[in-house]
Every structure is written in C-alpha cells, then in structure tokens.
C-alpha cells in the first residue's frame, strides 16, 4: 500500500468524502465504545490555581496538588501565566496546518514513530492498530530546541515555526515549574525530578478529530496512559476528553484558557505508584471538528527511571513496586504496539 492509500483511509479523507458509514477498521468492540448513558458529567476533576503557590495559600495549594495527583492523576491548571495570545495562535496555526492539501501534509507522513522525529500520522500506529482511531495528528520534538529540530517542523503555514517555537518555550517554562512543585509535593528536594529527567524531552502533538458519521461506534483516541512524565494539554471548546476514575468514564469539561495536566507513566514509576498515570481517551462527534494540543514532558531517552529511593524507604516493607527502565526502551516498546494493546506500564510493575 502506498502512503496515499493510507491517507485515503484516514479520518480526514473519509470525512471530506462524506462517508456515511464507518469502515470496519474504525469500529471498536462493544465494550470499548463510548458510553454516554453511564458517562459521569456532574463531578469534576480538581482545579489547581498556580498563582496560589506564591502566597499565603501555598500549603493548601500543595495539598490540593498532591490530592489531585494521587486520586485523579489529572487536574485543570488555571492562572498558569502562559500567554493566552500564544495559546490562541498555536491553535490557529495548527488548524491551518490540517487544512493544507494532502500532498503537503503527507511530506511528513510516517506510519510509526518514537517521538524523535516530526511526524504526520493517521490513527496511532497506521499498520499495527487493531482498531483505527478517528484522528490525524502532527507530532514534533520540542526540546532540546535547536535550529536543526526546528528545520524538521512544517514550514507552512507561514508563521508556523515562529509560533510553535514560542509555544514550545512557554511549555518548557511551565513544565519546569510543575517539575519543582511535583517534587516538593512528594516530599522530595525541589530539583529531584529535574535531575531524574536527565536531559529532558518535550514532544508536541496536535490532534485533529474531524466530524465523524458514527461517533458512537468509534473513538478519537483509544483508552491509554501517557508514556512520558506528565502531559500539558490545551483543548479547544469542543468537549471529547474522558478520564477513567473508579471504574467510570468522566467527561472533562473545557475551562477557557486553562490547561489539563495529567500524570504519565514515568511519574507513576518515579513516585513508586503514589501518583497515578490514569487511563483516558477521546470521543468524537458528528457535528464539529475538535483539536487538542498535547505537550508530553519527560525524561531524555538516555535517562534511567526507577522509583525514588526516599519514597521506597518510607514504605513499611521498603520495597519498590516498579523495576528500573531505560526510557528509550520504554518508548520503543510503547510505540511498537497499538494503543489498544493496553497499558505497557503494567509490564514494569513488580509482582508481589
């Protein structure tokens, strides 16, 4: 199959052709399909106000952060100081990228990736998914931010590189603040996670979910946990993210100008399971295109990740619940599967 055959079977191309029935490849098994009847809408995940870490409310804010990471693995972040103009510009230029002709986008097409190279992708893992996801995406490395890396990013739309560079720098600044706060919230020295992440890695993924003819049969992104340290997500105003909590799917509401932050697998390992990397997924709808800009922040590929010694020693039996891994190996394994092969983190848990 040539690359354009893949494109023709992707969500965008099917949507543009006005397909009324989903191809078989997109139909999820019944137990994985969206479940509007049992979806929890009333209770909302924690909101963390970053400005409270400066003043009198700091201890309380730290307690709320700890609670959010332990019980939800997800929170909204408000008053984060990230320039709103940059958030809007990134969303706009991302939207414009997906409006480009297929020939231009396909210059970046790869069936598989490990987050090291700029990649335009369909579904998740074009050849290996058992069920395809109703999305196409652009993913690009953002740290270390060299001219060489930037030269691999799309050169169209005109201001794409300039805006994405600004966005990447702002994400990194926010990520470094979060790293220090997350370390402190675990009772570790402020620089602990910064050092554990070694050279650091940052990857931005723009998810594009076109309107779908049969949204009740498929998913935008199959349920998964994120493989990096933590994730900084910007949504547009179309809902779609769902988070698994206590056996039910929770619909995440959109708070204007806020980010959604979630704990990824490496933070779960480093915290020896105190902070949870929680399953989440994206559903689609028949009316509106939805975008999310997802910045994964985590260790450099050569970092060795293991539970923090201090946290192990605090446990009554003083034992680690996760083995040690080279992050590069972890990512290779993660990306060589389909998202529907379920959680790779389980394979590094130590059976007791």
Ligand X SMILES: O=C(O)CCC(=O)C(=O)O
Positions in the binding site for ligand X (CB under 6 A)? 205, 207, 221, 226, 233, 240-241, 280, 282, 292, 294
For ligand X, the closer of residues 52 and 290 by Cβ is 290
- Sign for the pseudo-dihedral over CA of 235, 164, 223, 46: negative
Residue 346: strand, helix, or coil: helix
For Fe ion, the closer of residues 7 and 230 by Cβ is 230
For ligand X, the closer of residues 240 and 338 by Cβ is 240
* Residue 321 binds to Fe ion (criterion: CB under 5 A): no
Are the C-beta atoms of residues 295 and 203 closer than 8 Å to each other? yes
DSSP state of 18: T
For ligand X, the closer of residues 156 and 251 by Cβ is 251
For residues 189 and 208, what is the distance between their CA atoms, to the nearest angstrom?
39
- Sign for the pseudo-dihedral over CA of 118, 121, 123, 127: negative
Are the C-beta atoms of residues 330 and 227 closer than 8 Å to each other? yes
DSSP state letters, 278-323: --EEE---SS--EEEEEEEEE--TT-EE---HHHHHHSTT---SB-
- Size (the chain), residues: 352
- What's the closest the beta carbon of residue 157 comes to Fe ion, in angstroms? 26
For ligand X, the closer of residues 243 and 311 by Cβ is 243
- What's the closest the beta carbon of residue 230 comes to Fe ion, in angstroms? 11
Q: Which of ligand X, Fe ion, none interacts with 205 (beta carbon under 5 to 8 A by kind)?
A: ligand X
Q: Which of Fe ion, ligand X, none interacts with 142 (beta carbon under 5 to 8 A by kind)?
A: none
Q: Which of Fe ion, ligand X, none interacts with 282 (beta carbon under 5 to 8 A by kind)?
A: ligand X
- What's the closest the beta carbon of residue 233 comes to ligand X, in angstroms? 6
Name beta bridge partners: 260.
76, 233
For ligand X, the closer of residues 208 and 274 by Cβ is 208
* Residue with smallest beta-carbon separation from Fe ion: 226
Residue numbers 218-277 binding Fe ion by CB under 5 A: 226
* Residue 133 binds to Fe ion (criterion: CB under 5 A): no
Query: Given the rule CB under 5 A, which residues bind Fe ion?
Result: 226
């Amino acid at each position: 199959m040539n690359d354009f055959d893949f494109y023709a079977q992707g969500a965008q191309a099917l949507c543009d052709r006005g397909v009324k029935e989903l191809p078989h490849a997109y139909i999820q098994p019944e137990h994985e399909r969206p479940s509007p009847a049992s979806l929890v809408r009333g209770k909302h995940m924690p909101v963390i106000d970053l400005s409270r870490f400066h003043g009198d409310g700091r201890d309380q804010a730290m307690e709320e952060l700890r609670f959010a990471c332990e019980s939800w693995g997800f929170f909204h972040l408000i008053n984060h100081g990230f320039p709103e103009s940059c958030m809007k510009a990134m969303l706009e230029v991302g939207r414009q990228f997906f409006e480009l002709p297929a020939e231009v986008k396909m210059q970046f097409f790869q069936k598989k990736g490990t987050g090291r190279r700029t990649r335009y992708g369909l579904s998740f893992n074009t050849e290996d998914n058992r069920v395809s996801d109703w999305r196409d995406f652009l993913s690009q490395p953002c740290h270390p931010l060299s001219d060489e890396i930037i030269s691999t990013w799309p050169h169209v739309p005109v201001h794409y590189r300039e805006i994405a560079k600004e966005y990447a720098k702002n994400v990194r600044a926010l990520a470094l603040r979060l790293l220090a706060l997350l370390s402190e919230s675990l009772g570790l020295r402020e620089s602990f996670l910064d050092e554990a992440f070694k050279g650091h890695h940052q990857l931005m993924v723009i998810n594009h979910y076109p309107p779908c003819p049969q949204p009740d049969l498929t998913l935008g992104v199959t349920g998964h946990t994120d493989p990096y340290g933590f994730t900084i997500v910007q949504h547009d105003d179309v809902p779609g993210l769902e988070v698994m909590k206590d056996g039910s799917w929770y619909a995440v509401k959109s708070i204007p100008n806020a980010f959604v932050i979630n704990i990824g697998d490496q933070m779960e390992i480093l915290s020896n399971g105190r902070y949870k990397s929680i399953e989440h997924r994206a559903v689609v709808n028949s009316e509106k295109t939805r975008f999310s800009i997802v910045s994964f922040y985590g260790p450099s590929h050569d970092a060795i990740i293991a539970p923090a010694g201090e946290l192990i020693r605090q446990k009554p039996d003083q034992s680690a619940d996760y083995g040690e891994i080279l992050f590069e190996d972890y990512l290779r394994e993660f990306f060589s599967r389909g998202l529907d092969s379920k959680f790779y983190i389980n394979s590094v848990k130590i059976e007791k």
